[in-house]
Amino acid sequence: MASQEVKPKLGSESFSCPHCNAVAHHDWFSLFLKPENATEVVILTLEAAMLAKSEKRDELIERLKDNVLTYEYQEPPRTLKVKLVNLYVSRCYSCKGFAIWVRDQLVFPISGKESPNIIEADFKEVEEEPDKPADDMQESKAILNRSPKGATAQDEKGSETATRMLGSLKEFLQRLKDQDEK
Q: Where do the domains of the chain lie?
A: 119-182
Q: What is the DSSP letter of 39?
A: G
The candidate with the shortest Cα–Cα distance to 158, out of 176, 136, 131, is 136
Please report which confidence band the pLDDT of residue 133 belongs to, taking 50, 70 and 90 as the band edges.
low
Strands 14-16 and 98-102, by their bridges, are: unpaired
The residue ranking higher by pLDDT, 18 or 36, is: 18
Quote the pLDDT of residue 126: 32
- Please report, as a single letter, which amino acid is at residue 173: L
Residue 48 pLDDT > 80, yes or no? Answer: no
Mean of pLDDT over the chain: 75
Q: Are the CB atoms for 121 and 143 separated by under 8 Å?
A: no
The residue ranking higher by pLDDT, 60 or 129, is: 60
Quote the pLDDT of residue 67: 77
Residue 92 pLDDT > 90, yes or no? Answer: yes
> What is the rounded distance in angstroms from the CA atom of residue 69 to the CA atom of residue 89?
11
